[in-house]
Amino acid sequence: MNRKRVVIAGLGDTGVLTAIRLARRFDVVGISLNPGLVSGQELGTRLARPDDWARNYWIAFDRFRELDRVRTVHGTVTGVDLAARTVRVRDANGSSREEGYDALVVSTGVTNGFWRQAVLQSAGDVGAGLRAAHERLASARSVAVIGGGAAAVSSAANIAVRWPGIRVELYFPGEHVLPHHHWRARKRIEGRLAAAGVTLHPGHRAVVPDGFDCSAITSEPVSWSTGQPPVQADAVLWTIGRVRPNTAWLPDELLDDGGFVRVTPELRLPGHDGVFAIGDVAATDPLRSSARNRADGLLARNVAAYFTGGRMRSYRPPSSRWGSVLGVQPDGLEVFAPNGLAFRFPAWSIERVLQPWIVRRGIYRGVRPGNRPIVTNG
């Protein structure tokens, strides 16, 4: 009996986990813009300590033991024929091909700043981007971080800790940072920011001109629609949450008004058997939280149920965002629960317990040794 084929469009954080879950039961083909997992997590660590970040968040596909069963394609998804059950792919060498599927998983994510872009990259491109952003900030005397979400908060805190001589100021539109987190988490993180020397500026909403490229670190003055005088810094980091779903390859009827993929509670596309979506690209809830809540296990069960005629399960989003906000700090790692309470991994446990046992063996089910030096001096 032939095994069913599942094509996963997008091998970011969620796509890789989904592929790992499905590979033991089905023939899986994963299509990726990068020659490995280039995570969208922990922006602050990526900017301030790219060598540390790359060790845990930039992992070649051949290091994942459970991806040995997966055929990975380094290329760009350019279209889909839902009737014929094929996706069109342009390989890294420029040639086009079609990949047939019995089930399709859409996990192409979003474009959000320079750290998450829908462009085909080589390993050299990834390394050059990491170095460029790090060196740009290392040479600054002042940094303005625009935005109040987790990416902004993490960036401001990690830059301030890594370079104590840089003046770091965080501008955000609300009264508090982290508007989608529990109030306990907000209070705790604001205290950590102050302790790191970050100056908080609530009530500042930046003017973003039409066509402005938020993916660049800039140095031009920032104006405010909330009436404050313009601000200038040596480096301006735009982390304002202006995400664009990577769905240009999909028919418009599959998308909501924002361009995100419409899904049922079972993460299926309405009216299209065998097509699923997960992660930041899937319109599960206002926060598109399946990207951060290990919905890969539920999706894998639902794909299997689709093939067998079994009962599918529904995804239930949490009421608040949770998880790590600042990433690993000198005193360890804080992970917040949905109720805002924090659990701390002490610093000694990160590379002895958390990464080797919980992440590499537990979550990824085995990652072979290897590292990818970035060689930074700043």
Q: For 5-118+243-308, CATH number? A: 3.50.50.60
Question: 289 falls in which pLDDT band (50, 70, 90)?
Answer: confident
Closest among 2, 1, 4 to 303, alpha carbons compared: 4
Alpha carbons within 13 A on the beta-carbon side of 362: 8
Mean pLDDT rounded to a whole number for the chain? 93
Task: List, for residues 174-214, the tens digit of each pLDDT value.
Answer: 999 999 899 999 999 999 999 999 999 999 999 998 777 77
Q: What angle do CA 207, 210, 213 make, to 5 degrees?
A: 85
Q: How far, in Å, are 47, 130, 217, 235, 236 from residue 167 at the CA level?
A: 16, 22, 16, 10, 12
Q: Would you state the pLDDT for residue 292?
A: 75
Q: Would you state the pLDDT for residue 6?
A: 98
Q: Would you state the pLDDT for residue 245?
A: 94
Average pLDDT over residues 315-338: 88
Residue 293, helix vs strand vs coil: coil
Per the listing, tokens 């922990």 go with 42
Task: List, for residues 70-87, the tens digit of each pLDDT value.
Answer: 999 999 999 999 999 999
Q: How far, in Å, are 126, 165, 172, 311 from residue 121 at the CA level?
A: 7, 34, 32, 39
Q: Which two tokens stand for residue 58?
A: 């930039």
Q: What pTM, to 2 d.p., does this model score?
A: 0.93
Segments making up each domain of the chain, as ranges:
5-118+243-308
Cα–Cα distance measured from residue 76 to residue 9, given in angstroms and rounded to the nearest whole number: 9
Residue 235 pLDDT exceeds 70: yes
The answer to whether the beta carbons of residues 188 and 342 sit under 8 Å apart is: yes
Closest among 3, 97, 96, 15 to 61, alpha carbons compared: 15
Closest among 177, 110, 132 to 325, alpha carbons compared: 177
Q: Would you state the pLDDT for residue 373?
A: 56
